Structure 1
Amino acid sequence: MHTHTLQNSFKSLGITDLVLTPGASFRYLSGLSMHASERLTLLFVNKSGEKSALLPELEAESARSADLLHIETYRDEEGPLRALRNLTQKMGFTSETVLGYEAQTIRMFEYQALTGASEVTFRAADDALTAIRLIKRDDELAKIRRAAQIVDGALERSLPLFKVGMTELDVAAELEYQMRKLGSEGTPFATIACAGPRGALPHGGPTLSEIKRGDLVVLDYGAKIDGYAADTTRTVSFGVPSEEALSIYEVVKMAQAAAVNAVKPGAVAQDVDRAARKVIQKAGLGAYFTHRTGHGLGLDVHEYPSMMEGNELILAPGMVFTVEPGVYLPNKFGIRIEDDVCVTEAGVEVLTQFTRELHVID
């Protein structure tokens, strides 16, 4: 499946080979989990689907399980250039080679090494790689479902432990600890736990600020299983919330439900966003919903497709993304509810199942 899709992409893009740096597409095509660092690490794929890799010697053992045609390794003290030249010669690179790359992940570090080792032409191939990863296989879905179960379970375990007076960092650490206990291999992004006025920062990080009675706390956190992410948000109240907070919470909950209900095969991505935005705008809060309604989910916690105005992608079974409208009132509070969903033949499967009712912590 991968090879056939790549072959079509090679032809349409006019590329002869593909180079990938460590990240989601590198892992998707090789099965190897590598991290971008000061050590040059590259995966090459030719038009026949054969894969070769340049690796630091300390990673050679990790690559034994991968289906690689060629492996060239180097030691730290010698550097990668000789090994890279050997590999490009084995792969038959010439001045006629057109090398596809991911513009969003390649660094000048890798680009300079590649141009120093061979005379090739470069062409961006991001859209082709996006298309390959867009529809999740059954094994991918199983991993995302397991990660979703973990984020649900972590919150269920953590809520009884939350108390007024804890810091935002205390709350974030407890969630992360419980996810680890349940089997998450780590967090796919920095946990968000923002209380009171800081909840109006959609991507705020946790601090040593103490949570006060009556604060709404936005909890945005994720788990990983074999690289695949779940990403969820719940907003909880430490003590009885204000009437304004209760009212707006209901608006966000209705907007989120409307967006989830809009998910089905044949629907248009932007219509999911419109469904949520319509509810929030009707309540007079449209100016305070400042981001897209959702983003794709898989080996990257933010990948295609985006649920936003202007995206006319037709939804199809196997697409996985978040649905996460929010309202953020500066200097007051923020509210966001986020679930992970999968488009199915029959409609939609909601992967994260923790209640969307407002939880009040005594």
Structure 2
Amino acid sequence: MTEIIFTEHDRLEIGADEYRLRRERVFQLLQDRQLDAICVFGPTRVAYLSGFFFSPTERPIALVLTAGGAVAALLPNLELSHFQQQGPQLDDSAVYPEYPGGGSGRHPMLFLRELLSRLGVLGKVIAADVDGYEHRWGYRGPALSAVLDQSVQADVALIDDLRMVKSAAEIALMTEACRWGDHAHRLMQDSIRVGSEELLISHGASLQATRDLLAELGGRYVPKAREGLPANAMFIRGSNTAHPHGLHEAGAVQARDVLVTGAYGVVGGYESELERTMIVGEPDDRFRRFFAAMLAAQQVGLEALRPGRSCAEVEAEVRGFIRDELGMDDLVRHHTGHAFGLEGHEHPFLDLDDHTVIEAGMVFSVEPGLYVPEFAGFRHSDTVVITPSGSERLSLYPRELDELVVPVA
């Protein structure tokens, strides 16, 4: 559906022109809504608008955009050169020594107030994604509105709504991420044996897939984080899979264990999602029944996705099928899926109470699950992009049962 815009020689990341276009959309949004400026605190939103990826800590960072087209930032001194390396040219900046003050005797948010004053927007109509920096790693700080002594129009949707429909470049990066998530899953599946430790197999496959990615992509791969690997796979097993987000457990894989897996790639900061339900050894009738029901429900979700429908309508169709055709509504623990991109979960959601209209270019997971207490969970998840006429899977790993059986011998 989507033209892949990266050549075999291109670095796999969003380019400066697209970041500039994103900021221009915000400038227009500010003018349309008669807002004089917006302060963006969320690390993912800062990265989305500027290309500045960083490891969030207790030190507040904010990107400021004004209706007049100015770009400015609040930065701790330890991130200044990092921003200069990645981010756009700034019209102004406020650089503070350290949190909570570094000997300055002033909270970092007071530096932001001075920056807004220099930009000529203090006392005018100011918006923000959230009313101040989020509390993480021991950060204690006042709300932006308290620092400015004025109301602030805080609304995460101001930026997040712009992120819902992905560009061709974003979809290309997620398609590449899917390729490596699929590869990590294949390595993991092929490594599982009776007696395997789930943690060791999961991490071993992730590391080997990462080695393969770096060997193939070389300098085209551009890391956007300090932590984690660009290709990952994991699984949980047995009755623990009846918990939709069950944690790892110690112990070895046994014959007849149900496995619920997860795998993903990260390319240019963009993620993929792949999950599969597997079985160790020959599946019995009980397993086959629930597996077939789960697979049928996912197929309903894949076919229900198309532009013009609401997220709630898609969810209602899937839930109706599970309730009326399968008679398994009591086994549902979560909605059918969610959007994602720079984050593993993004707005909107395939949920009965989300009435967002689906558009071409949105990317969703499709993952209706069935959870049988004391037995197992059953869930496939695929990365799906909305096309002009329907949807297209970007994660291409096998979905059928005969390809998801781990041999015992």
What TM-score results when the alignment is normalised by the length of structure 2? 0.81
SS of the residue corresponding to residue 233 of structure 1 reads coil
Matching residue within 56, 61, 67 for 1:36: 56
Pair 1:290-2:333 in alignment: yes
CA distance in 1: counterparts of 2:23 and 2:400, whole angstroms: 45
State the Cα RMSD in Å: 2.6
Name 2:254's counterpart in structure 1. 212
SS of the residue corresponding to residue 159 of structure 1 reads helix
CA distance in 2: counterparts of 1:275 and 1:85, whole angstroms: 49
Matching residue within 178, 195, 211 for 1:148: 178
Question: 2:232·2:263 contact (CA, 8 Å) conserved in 1?
Answer: yes
Unaligned runs of 5+ in 1: none
Question: 1:216·1:241 contact (CA, 8 Å) conserved in 2?
Answer: no
Structure 2 residue identity aligned to 1:89? S
Map 1:277-356 onto structure 2 (within 5 A).
277-281=319-323, 282-356=325-399
State the shift of 1:34 in Å.
1.9
Unaligned runs of 5+ in 2: 1-20, 215-220
User: Is the alpha carbon distance of 1:175 and 1:278 closer, same or farther for their aligned partners in structure 2, counting shifts above 3 Å?
Assistant: farther
Pair 1:70-2:92 in alignment: yes
Structure 1 residue identity aligned to 2:321? V
CA distance in 2: counterparts of 1:356 and 1:309, whole angstroms: 26
Deviates more, 1:77-86 or 1:255-264: 77-86
CA distance in 2: counterparts of 1:189 and 1:40, whole angstroms: 30
CA distance in 2: counterparts of 1:245 and 1:36, whole angstroms: 43
SS of the residue corresponding to residue 142 of structure 2 reads helix
SS of the residue corresponding to residue 210 of structure 2 reads helix
Structure 1 residue identity aligned to 2:204? E
Structure 2 residue identity aligned to 1:354? Y
SS of the residue corresponding to residue 150 of structure 1 reads helix
Render the CA deviation track for 1:24-45: whole Å, top value 9, x for unaligned. 2111111101232112212111
CA distance in 2: counterparts of 1:322 and 1:71, whole angstroms: 38
Map 1:209-288 onto structure 2 (within 5 A).
209-281=251-323, 282-288=325-331
Question: 2:369·2:377 contact (CA, 8 Å) conserved in 1?
Answer: yes
Write out the 4+ residue segments of structure 1 that deviate beyond 6 Å after TM superposition.
188-191
CA distance in 2: counterparts of 1:266 and 1:110, whole angstroms: 44
User: Is the alpha carbon distance of 1:6 and 1:268 closer, same or farther for their aligned partners in structure 2, counting shifts above 3 Å?
Assistant: same
SS of the residue corresponding to residue 244 of structure 2 reads coil
Name 2:148's counterpart in structure 1. 118
Deviates more, 1:246-255 or 1:162-171: 162-171
State the shift of 1:256 in Å.
0.7
What TM-score results when the alignment is normalised by the length of structure 1? 0.91
CA distance in 2: counterparts of 1:63 and 1:266, whole angstroms: 40
CA distance in 1: counterparts of 2:131 and 2:235, whole angstroms: 32
Question: 1:191·1:206 contact (CA, 8 Å) conserved in 2?
Answer: no
Question: 1:167·1:211 contact (CA, 8 Å) conserved in 2?
Answer: yes
Structure 2 residue identity aligned to 1:351? L
Question: 1:320·1:343 contact (CA, 8 Å) conserved in 2?
Answer: yes
CA distance in 2: counterparts of 1:256 and 1:127, whole angstroms: 29
Name 1:360's counterpart in structure 2. 405
CA distance in 2: counterparts of 1:85 and 1:231, whole angstroms: 40
Question: 1:147·1:229 contact (CA, 8 Å) conserved in 2?
Answer: yes
Deviates more, 1:269-278 or 1:332-341: 269-278
Bigger fraction of residues in strand: 1
Deviates more, 1:187-196 or 1:329-338: 187-196
User: Is the alpha carbon distance of 1:70 and 1:349 closer, same or farther for their aligned partners in structure 2, counting shifts above 3 Å?
Assistant: same
